[in-house]
Structure 1
Amino acid sequence: MRYCQIVMGPAGSGKSTYCAALATHAADAKRTINVVNLDPAAERYNYTPVADIRDLIQLEDVMEDEEMKFGPNGGLVFSMEFLLENTEWLQDALGEIEDDYILFDCPGQIELYTHMDVMRKFVDLLQEWNFRVCGVFLIDSHFMVDGGKFISGAMAALSVMVNLEVPHVNVLSKIDLLSVGGRKQLERFIEPDTHSLTSDLQGTSGILGERYGDLTCSLAKVLDDYSLVKFFPLDITNEENIQDLLIMIDTTVQYGEDLDVKTQDFEYPDREDDNDQ
C-alpha cells in the first residue's frame, strides 16, 4: 500500500512551505516523505522533488505558444490535462516502491479543486496505482479572522471536499505570522459556531448590506447542514504542532496499519535459577 497527500489551496496559502516542513520533519524522525511538484508555474521551493511537472511541461511554454494563446489560468488547466494524458511519465518517476508516502504540491488555481474534474481524475488515477489519498486544503489564517471571509473560505473547502470525495483535512496556515490579538481572535474559528459568526451581519443597513447579510447567513446554514468543515491551525515553526497534524493525516489514510510489527525476543530466566534465589 502507498500513501499520499494532495496539497491544495489558493495561491500564497503556503503549500510549498508546508511540503518542505513536513519532509524535513519526517527526515528528523527517521521517516521518508517525498514531494512531487505539480505546479508548472513554480519558480522556487525549499525541497528537492522526486518528480517535477516542469520536466514534462512548463507554463511559460504553454502561454508562449502562438496557436493556443493561453493566459495563466488556461495554461495551468492545460498543463494538468496534459499531465493526465502522459501519466506514464509520472508513473515512471514515482517507481513501484511499497509504502511510499508522497506529498503532491499542487498549483494555486482554486478552480482546479472546487468544480473542475481535472483533480478528481488525478485522484482516481492515484487510487488505481494503489495509493491511499488524503486531501489537504490550506487557507491563509490572515484571511480567516472575519466572519464573512471565514464563511467564504469554509465554502471553498467544502466544495473541494464534495468534488474530490476523499478523506480530507483543512488547515489554517501561517498561524506563526499572526499577531497575539489575531491568534486570540482566531480561536472562535477553529470550532466555528456559524450563528455567532454571522450574527453581526444581520440587520446591516442598506439594501446591499441586508442582502449580503442574508446571503452569508444562508451559506452558513449550508455549512451547518453538512457539518464537515473544521480547521487545524498550523504553526510551521512548532515541531509538536506539525507532528500532531501528521498524526491526524496518518490516521485518516490508515498509514502504518499494514506494516509489520517489530518485536524483540525476550529470554525468560531458568527456573533453576529462580529456585536458587
Structure 2
Amino acid sequence: MRFVYFVGTAGSGKSTLVKSYRDWLGNNGIDCMTINLDPGVDMLPYDADIDIREWVALDEVMGEYNLGPNGAQIVAADLMAVNIKKITDLLDGVRTEYVLVDTPGQLELFAFRESSNVIVEAFGKEKSMVVYLSDPMLCKTSNGFVSNMVLSSLVEFRLQLPVINILTKADLMKDEDRDRMISWFENSDSLYDDLLDNDANPQTVVGMELFKAVESVGIFGQIRAVSAVENTGLEEIYSATQLEFFGGEDIDPEDND
C-alpha cells in the first residue's frame, strides 16, 4: 500500500484529477482506494472510500466553535489529525496498491500546519509521496511560474516527501504556453532568461532571487502536462510513482499492504 497525496492551490483540479486517476488505475487493473481529507468540500466528483467529513464537518465546526468559514477551516484541519486513528483503523487489513489522498482545497491548510505531518506519519512517511498540481493559469508569466515553484518547494520542505510536479488542465492550454512552461521547468536557463527580459522593477528583483533559491534546492528537472478531462498524462503520473516507490518495476501483488 502506497500513499499518493494530491496537493496544490485552490482550483488546481485536485479532486478532478483524483477521480480521473482512480478510474485510469482501475481500467488498467491496478487496485486503489481514495481518501478525502477536505472537510469543507461540498461535492466530490468521486465516491471516497474514506471521507474525513464523517468525523469533521465544516458547518459543525463553525457552529461548535462559533467561527466563520476561514477560522473553521483551520480548526477542521487540526481536527483531522485528532481523528486520524479512526482512518488508520479502517485501513488495517486493507490490501490495495495505491491510496489516493485528496487534500484540502486551500494548500496552506494541509502543507503548512503541523497536523499534516501527523497524518503523513500515521499513514507511513516511508511509503508516501506528493503529486503537486501547478495551475497553468497561475504560471503563464515567468514571475508567476517561479512563485508556484516556490510553493512546490515549500510543500516538499514541510512534508519531507518526494514530490512530482505536474501541469494540470493541459486541455485548456495553448500549445505554445504548455511548451514554454515545460521548457521553464526542464531548462532553468530559459526561465532565467525570461526573468531577465522583464522590466526592471522590484517584482523582477524578487523573482530573480526566488529563482536562485528554488534552483539551489534542485527542484527543476521534469514536469508533466496532465488533463483530467481528456485523461492525458495519467500514465506519466503512474510511471513517476512507480519509479519513486519501486524503481520503475511493476507492483508486486504481495507488496500491497
User: Could you state the TM-score of these two structures normalised by the residue count of structure 1?
Assistant: 0.82
2:197 pairs, out of 200, 222, 229, with 200
Which structure's relative contact order is higher, taking Cα pairs within 8 Å and 6+ residues apart?
Answer: 2
The question of whether the paired residues in 2 share the 8 Å contact of 1:173 and 1:234 is answered with yes
- How many aligned residue pairs are there? 250
Evaluate the alpha carbon distance shift between residue 17 and residue 240 of structure 1 in structure 2; reply closer, same or farther with a 3 A threshold: closer
8 Å Cα contact 2:130-2:163 kept in structure 1: yes
CA offset digits 1:79-98 (Å, max 9, x no partner) = 22212112232123323223
User: Are 1:33 and 1:103, in contact at CA under 8 Å, matched by a contact in 2?
Assistant: yes
Give the whole-Å Cα distance in 2 for the aligned partners of 1:216 and 1:113: 25
Q: CA deviation at 1:258?
A: 4.7
Residue in structure 1 matching 2:95, options 95, 98, 102:
98
SS of residue in 2 equivalent to 1:48:
coil
Give the Å deviation of 1:115.
3.2
Q: Note if 1:76 corresponds to 2:76.
A: no
Q: Does 1:242 align with 2:234?
A: yes
Corresponding residue of 1:215: 206
Secondary structure at the residue paired with 2:164? Answer: strand
**C-alpha deviation, 1:133, in angstroms:** 0.3
* 3-state SS in 2 of match to 1:104: strand
2:102 is aligned with what amino acid? D
C-alpha distance in 2, partners of 1:57/1:34? 20
- Aligned pair 1:144/2:139, yes or no? yes
Match of 2:107 among 106, 110, 113: 110
Pairs within 5 Å for 1:140-179: 140-179=135-174
Verify the 8 A CA contact 2:104 2:110 in the aligned structure 1: no
RMSD: 2.2
The answer to whether the 8 Å contact 1:50/1:93 transfers is no
Q: Secondary structure at the match of 1:46?
A: coil
Which residue of the partner structure matches residue 132 of structure 1?
A: 127
Q: Structure 2 vs 1, CA of residues 121 and 35 (structure 1 numbering), >3 Å: closer, same or farther?
A: same
Instruction: Compare CA radii of gyration and give the structure with the larger one.
Output: 1
Structure 1, residues 101-154: CA drift from partner, whole Å, max 9, x if none? 1111010222234432221221111117xx610111112112212101001100
